[in-house]
Amino acid sequence: MDQTVSSEGSALKIAIVELYLAIKIRSAEELSDLSESSLEKERQKLLDQDSFSVLEYIRSSIEIIMSLKIEDLETEPRPVANATTETSSLRMG
């Protein structure tokens, strides 16, 4: 039983690390320098940390992504809805 729990814990930790690597915010420079060996080094460093720290990194990355999305929405021009067109199309349909 202990071996099964340990195996599941390892699989979960690997999944958490892979999730973080998938959503991590990277600069253009970091992306251009990204190689399989550098990704493997980062993966190994993360696997050496406790899972709660990696989960905190994921939370932080999601907060950054959400902030960027909100900024995009605030700067994006909003289309003006034409109430007359919407009403007339409802009558015809």
Torsion 21-39-27-53 (CA) sign? positive
Predicted pLDDT at 9: 84
The model's pTM is: 0.68
Q: Where are the domains of the chain?
A: 31-75
* Chain centroid offset of residue 70 CA: 15
* Calpha distance 62→20 (Å, rounded): 10
Q: Please, which pLDDT band fits residue 83 given cuts at 50, 70 and 90?
A: low
The 10 Å Cβ neighbour count of residue 90 is 8
Torsion 56-62-68-71 (CA) sign? negative
Predicted pLDDT at 82: 61
More confident residue, 4 or 36: 36
The pLDDT tens digits for 10-49 are 999 999 999 999 999 888 888 888 889 999 999 999 999 9
Predicted pLDDT at 61: 94
The pLDDT tens digits for 58-73 are 999 999 999 999 998 8
CB-based contact 16:58 (threshold 8 Å) = yes
Predicted pLDDT at 92: 52
89 to 67, 79, 80, 81, 82: CA distances (angstroms): 37, 18, 17, 13, 11
